[in-house]
Amino acid sequence: MTDAAVIMAATGLACRRGERVLFRGLDLDVRPGQIVWVRGANGRGKTSLLRLLAGLARPEAGRIERDAQRERVYIGHSNALKDDLTVAESLRFLTRLHGFDTSAEALDAALRRFGLHSRRAAPVRTLSQGQRRRVALARLCTAPAAALWLLDEPFDALDTEGVDALNTVLSEHAARGGSTLLTSHVPLTLTSLAPITLQLNEAVAA
């Protein structure tokens, strides 16, 4: 990697879904403290791009360089929660899985940030969609400070209070030097986030 300050750099990235090339020749670099807002109409490959960057899929062409020291947190469309576990158990499992801090204080603080502390013993089955999203997002607060966050539609199903909580968490993360790549079909509401916009262009037929 040429520039030490670049957390993740992608060059000439192309992604194909079946016969359709979603994007090609995509260049991207993410630096500490940046928030990158990936925009584009439905089906333009926002989710596919995030999955490529997370390492869940391999690009059709191009390469991705990552700072190996930095943890990555990927939160997709689905919340990765189990109906039969409680809120606290779910968060603990997801945190432990990635080897992050699973101390009771860290988990409690994370749940408090998203206003779920009173529901920590409730089974996930009894939660609404917005509350489930909050549990999934609470995991961000247990990750190491400088981690790279890859968030796919994090504002989905959140109410105003939830959006505010996430905005605060996002701006604190950026202030600490952490970077975020996110997709959102609603405009970002907190102006202090100052996102860099990455527009995914027209899909091209193969």
Partner 1 sequence: MTAPVFSAVLGRDLRLAARRRVDALLPLAFFAVAVSLFPLGVGPEPNTLRQIAPGVLWVCALLAAMLSVTQLYAGDQVDGSLEQMMLAGGAGTLAALPVAIAKAVSHWLLTGLPLVLIAPLFGVMFDLSGRSIGALCASLVLGTPILSLLGGLGAALTLGVRNGGVLLILLIVPLCIPALIFGSGAVSAVESSASARGHFSLLGALFIATGLLAPIATAAALRIATE
**Residues of the shown chain interacting with partner 1 in the complex, contacts defined by CB under 8 A:** 54-58, 72, 74, 76-82, 84-85, 89, 93-94, 96-99
- Spatial distance between the Cα atoms of 149 and 140, rounded to a whole number of angstroms: 8
**Cα–Cα distances in angstroms (integers) from residue 132 to residues 2, 51, 122, 202, in the given order:** 40, 21, 11, 33
Please identify, using beta-carbon distances, which residue of 44 and 72 lies nearer to partner 1. Answer: 72
Please identify, using beta-carbon distances, which residue of 129 and 199 lies nearer to partner 1. Answer: 129
Please identify, using beta-carbon distances, which residue of 93 and 112 lies nearer to partner 1. Answer: 93
Smallest distance, partner 1 to C-beta of residue 183, A: 15
Smallest distance, partner 1 to C-beta of residue 39, A: 23
- DSSP class of 182: E
The two beta strands, 179-183 and 204-205, are: unpaired
Please identify, using beta-carbon distances, which residue of 149 and 195 lies nearer to partner 1. Answer: 149
Residue 118: what residue type? S
CB-CB contact of 95 with 107 (8 Å): yes
Please identify, using beta-carbon distances, which residue of 66 and 195 lies nearer to partner 1. Answer: 66
Read off the tokens for 202. Answer: 């027209």
Smallest distance, partner 1 to C-beta of residue 89, A: 7
- Spatial distance between the Cα atoms of 185 and 158, rounded to a whole number of angstroms: 13
Smallest distance, partner 1 to C-beta of residue 15, A: 11
Smallest distance, partner 1 to C-beta of residue 9, A: 16
